[in-house]
Amino acid sequence: MNTLAAINLPLGPLMIDIAGTELTALDRQRLCHPLVGGLILFARNYADPQQLESLCAEIHGLRQPPLPIAVDHEGGRVQRFRAGFTHVPPMRALGEWWDSEPQAALAATRAIGYLLAAELRARGVDLSFTPVLDLDYGGSEVIGNRAFHRQPQAVRELAGALIEGLHQAGMIACGKHFPGHGYVAADSHVAIPRDERSLDALAEDMAPYRGLALDGVMPAHVIYPAVDHQPAGFSARWLKILRDELAFDGVIFSDDLSMEGASVAGDIVARAEAAWAAGCDMLLVCNAPDAVGDLLARWQPAQDSQRFWRSSQRIARLLPQHPALDWTQLAENAAYRSGQQAIASLVSLTSLA
């Protein structure tokens, strides 16, 4: 499909990735496919800030409306772009600050949210999959210091401050991993975690999702057998709880369908069908180019259905609603400088601890 044919093409339900730092002919073809509605970048796609900015501009120019460009850029060990970007500390550090000086920690978190979003947007990236809303039970290696805190109230307040900063810079917020990935030790990238707790016991984990201004939510590849035998992202019951009981009307992203935690649904087409049938709007397929090709060739959701268009309209809301600051403008921006100062203070506190 050429660029002209991609004008006014609705955003489809698949978010895919690319192999390198430049687009290939195959990348362009796949990104213009009607089932594709977004792109996620990884560290392998990054060489330097200028390269990233050029890559994002080319991706945005492929079709109209432009494809939302996403990244996992939380801070700490989950920050795909490093050289040329500010190093954001792990969110647990903000939770530890909150224990002693909650108002100072909230102000710092808000400022860091702005900085994180402003830097990404200045280079053309539209959204980061953040904040992590999982509770820090201390036993999950995959979550670990990515979580703000053990207490739901602390998580809600700190995540709310981060979201305010993201929104101020024109970036959406995506909470993860619903209803909670912090209790189980197993890593859903390489295992199929099971959380045996009851729905009542899980209410504490879901508490941070109530009342936050979230634009997106990513369910966990975790099975909660007391509620459903399917992982949350494949569970119509869990997604109905999210939609109805938590009144969420934003984009529901599947977690990466190539992860081991998604294998219970079958091959890549079966996984996509299961996530779509459960109620996910956008399905991520990462680090599996052959699976992307298979999915584009064999999966056939009805593109003229009310469901397809409703999800497409939600996905369109991921695109920023106001222009980003140019990178050269950031240093003169008061909110951005506050973010730099907040990180410096946090690093100093951490070093003294």
Q: Is residue 60 annotated as part of the catalytic site, yes or no?
A: no
CA-based nearest residue to 133, from 119, 113, 153: 153
DSSP state of 13: S
Q: Which fold has domain 19-352?
A: TIM Barrel (3.20.20)
Give the Å distances, CA to CA, from 152 to 16, 71, 182.
Answer: 32, 26, 12
The pLDDT value recorded for residue 104 is 97
Domains of the chain by residue range:
19-352
How confident is residue 185, by pLDDT bands cut at 50, 70 and 90?
confident
Using a CB cutoff of 8 Å and minimum separation of 24, what contacts does 164-167 make?
Answer: 164/110, 164/113, 164/213, 165/109, 165/110, 165/111, 165/112, 165/113, 165/114, 165/115, 165/116, 165/117, 165/335, 165/339, 166/113, 166/114, 166/116, 166/117, 166/128, 166/130, 167/213
Residue 3, pLDDT > 50, answer no
Given 205, 255, 256, 281, the catalytic residue: 255
| List 48, 99, 189, 267, catalytic entry | 189
Average pLDDT, stretch 9-33? 97
Residue 120: the pLDDT is 98
What sign does the dihedral 73-79-80-82 (CA atoms) show? positive
pLDDT digits (tens, 9 = 90+) for 206-240: 999 998 999 999 999 899 999 999 999 999 999 99
pTM (two decimals)? 0.95
Q: Determine the pLDDT at residue 188.
A: 63
Q: Catalytic: 33?
A: no
Distance CA 139, CA 183 (A): 7
Residue 47, number of CB atoms within 10 A of its CB: 15
- Give the DSSP H or E segment for 14: strand 14-16
Contacts with 201 (C-beta within 8 Å, 6 or more apart), sequence order: none
**For position 10, what pLDDT does the model report?**
92
Q: What percent of the chain has pLDDT over 90?
A: 87
**Which residue carries 């209410």 as its tokens?**
203
**What tokens appear for 184 in the block?**
């189980």
Q: Which amino acid is at 238?
A: W
> β-strand 78-79 against 73-75: which pairing, if any?
antiparallel
Whether the pLDDT of residue 351 is over 80: the answer is: no
pLDDT tens digits, 281-306: 999 999 999 999 999 999 999 888 99
